[in-house]
A and B are shown apart, each in its own frame.
Chain A
Amino acid sequence: MDRNLDIDNFELLLRERSDEFKMYPTKRIWHSIYNNIHPGRKWPSIAMSITLIAILLLFGYLNTNNKILKQEAVYSVDFARNTLINNNFLFFTPPSFEFVSFDKFQQKHLQTFADNSTLNALAKNSESNAEETSKLFFAQNIRSIKNSAQKTNLNTITAKTIAEANFNLIGNEPVLKYSSAIQAGIKNELLISVKVKLPVLYNLRNTNTLVENDAIVSAEKTIAQIITENNQLVNSADFNNANPISQKAEVIENKNTLSGNNPLTTTKEESSITNEEKEWIENYALYNRAAPKKWAGKLAWQMYITPSVVYRDLKNTISTEADINKSVIQHPSFGLEIGGGILYPIFKGVKFKTGLQLNFTRYNTEAYGNSHPVATTIMLHSATGQLFPAYRSTPYSNGDGITPIKLHNETFQISIPIGVDVKIAGNENLQWNIGATIQPSYIIAGKSYLISSDKRNYIKESSMLNRFNLDAGFETFISYKTNNGFIFQAGPQFRKQLFTTNSKQYIIEERLNNYGFKFGISKLIK
């Protein structure tokens, strides 16, 4: 039944109908309004984030604070070793070392040097710095040897005793890595209070007795001369190159392996070294140094896995009237990224990275399956840029149908990520980094369900998938280096597909967004 409406009521009609019209805004709008009218309330979340990161950094630092001791121990091992070699009476090989924490060390040596008030006082002062500790302990060792020599039979004072006194330190890397820090360490007479675990000592001189006697004397002389001699060594050494004395030591060690398992019981003939032999050793060391590999100690391999959630953005390239994203019911699904590659430092705190990775992406479309296909069209661009409808048949409909069905839009990709990681904060062991990559990708396989031009149907058209695409990856992560050199990393990652999933012929562009969490492991290649 029709109802005549006076023209004057036209405005009333519009007003009534318009007032009935409601739209429900997205949550984002309220969050934006809230953040705008309560700017101060953003700070709690920022403060919480900063606090969390600070706690992580602090936790990492507290768990790795023996790092300095460890580094300095390396310098000191070599320092003392060089000294002994210069005096030509013994050297040691460090077959295995045990890192002893500073606290444990203090406990142990407090017992040994219980009568030493200085050390006791020092040990009680937990905030004393390593340098001062080292200096004092260095002096303490000298006294210890002297006392031992006076109080005990000289025959019981072996080279091992002296070595332990000298090498109350530890190092898993006897090869000295010269740097300004080493210079400073040596010049500052740093002797780190950590312990060598059963060093094998090689007697380069004569018999045990002689060695022991000599050792005491030599050791005292050595210790007394350490600073002077070593300063000369430091001043004359080329710190950009490997230490020739260390090399010489290795050669000597090789030669002395002839002396058997117990080098302290070697015979005079076996252990004596002539000037000619020394010269030969030096020359051998000089001309047979291993050529350093430029990448050694820098290049690292990396493996990672990133579970993710895959979202998509749809854009109608010919019409902006209706948001295509709201014309379809599609839900994010899971994705996965597995890859491996290499990392190489190019600047301080910046690492270049590349590799190979496999990506799987999926999002789901809620549709209906029909018992028989229906005819429909998809709008395509022709080669000349004009639009034309391409006719298809499909059993999948959007919005109404017989059986609800979930369509999986999937891709399997292989990519070559190329990018950088940048260190933001942290120390050698615990770091906060950000990274970015550009990822040329090849789509190995996939399924694509296109929406018809009337938005009522979906058409499976995997042949429309672009074979090549380009993605960009952004990530931030916390990395932690373990004592055995492995670096574990974890952090969020965002991967954005830069070009449309399907051919440009298709009027609707689709771009995938992956929000994932990356877990990785890496290690230096030596």
Chain B
Amino acid sequence: MTEEIMLKGCLENNAASQEALYTRLSPKMLGVCYRFAKNREDAEDMLQEGFIKVFAQIHQYRNEGALEGWIRRIVVHTCINILKKNKKFSDSVDISYANGVGIREENIPSIMQAKQVVECIRLLPVGYRTVLNLYAIEGYSHKEIGSMLDIEESTSRSQYTRAKVMLEEILVKKNILLRPRNKGIALTGAVANN
């Protein structure tokens, strides 16, 4: 079923088209939710709420951009809204946590998988993780993030900077990245070969 047919069916509230769209996009969207969520169950709840909004608001889609991108934005906003109910994103996290992460100097080959990166992101405190997800992966600006999370733009910047440092340390510790040298960082050999 093409995207066009699926979209048309969804606009007509056709269950088969809705299921087809869900089946096609839900794995990726659940991956998005999982980066924001505390655990898989929370991620599935976010996904569920997100897709309910998608199907409820599908008539607002204007064909101005990819349908997947439009759905992704709704899912991300749903995640943020759910997180906002439980967490203040202005809370800062002690950077010493990141500093405390041990760094392996030696180059130990490791298979880098998407899941490992995502799991490392999920090791970050929720505030850092959310800002990093929104800025680095979802492509929102700090101004937009500030607006979404009800925090200052500068807070978003500082949180992102700290999150990035912390994530680098974690990736290095997990042998996913080599220790940054000069201005760059290096992936381990196995990753580079991917």
Interface residues of A (CB under 8 A from B): 1-7, 10-11, 13-15, 17-26, 28-30, 32-34, 36-38, 41, 320-321, 323, 326
Contacts and interface: CB of A to CB of B under 8 A. Distances in A.
A316 to B, nearest CB: 11
Nearest to A12: B136
Given A1-B189, A10-B185, A33-B51, A17 B114 contact: yes
Given A18-B121, A22-B31, A36-B52, A4 B184 contact: yes
B164 A23 contact: no
Nearest to B41: A323
Contacts of A33: 22, 48, 51-52, 55
Contact of B183 (A6, A15, A17, A26): A6
B71 to A, nearest CB: 13
Contacts of B56: 37
Given A5-B186, A15-B137, A33-B51, A26 B44 contact: yes
B109 to A, nearest CB: 10
B43 interface: yes
Contact of B40 (A5, A23, A28, A34): A23
A321 B120 CA distance: 12
A18 B137 contact: yes
A7 B30 contact: no
Interface string B43-57: 110011001100110
Contact of A7 (B107, B117, B121, B184): B184
A419 to B, nearest CB: 32
Nearest to B23: A30
Interface in B94-139: 107, 112, 114-115, 117-118, 121, 132, 135-137, 139
Contacts of A4: 181, 184-186
Given A7-B184, A15-B136, A23 B51 contact: no
A171 B89 CA distance: 81
A35 to B, nearest CB: 10
A425 B52 CA distance: 38
Nearest to A18: B137
A1 to B, nearest CB: 5
Interface in B154-191: 164, 167-168, 178, 180-181, 183-189
A41 B52 CA distance: 16
A17 B41 CA distance: 22
Contacts of B52: 33, 36-37
Nearest to A24: B27
Contacts of A29: 26, 44, 47-48, 51
Nearest to A320: B39
A18 B33 CA distance: 11
Contact of B136 (A11, A21, A25, A41): A11
Contacts of A30: 19, 22-23, 26
A282 B174 CA distance: 101
Interface in B73-105: none
A34 B17 CA distance: 12
Contact of B31 (A6, A21, A320, A321): A21
A18 B114 contact: yes
Contacts of B19: 30, 34
27 contacts: A2-B186, A4-B181, A4-B186, A5-B184, A5-B185, A7-B180, A13-B187, A14-B132, A14-B137, A15-B136, A17-B114, A18-B137, A19-B137, A21-B114, A23-B31, A24-B26, A24-B30, A25-B30, A25-B47, A29-B44, A29-B47, A30-B19, A30-B23, A33-B55, A34-B15, A34-B18, A320-B38
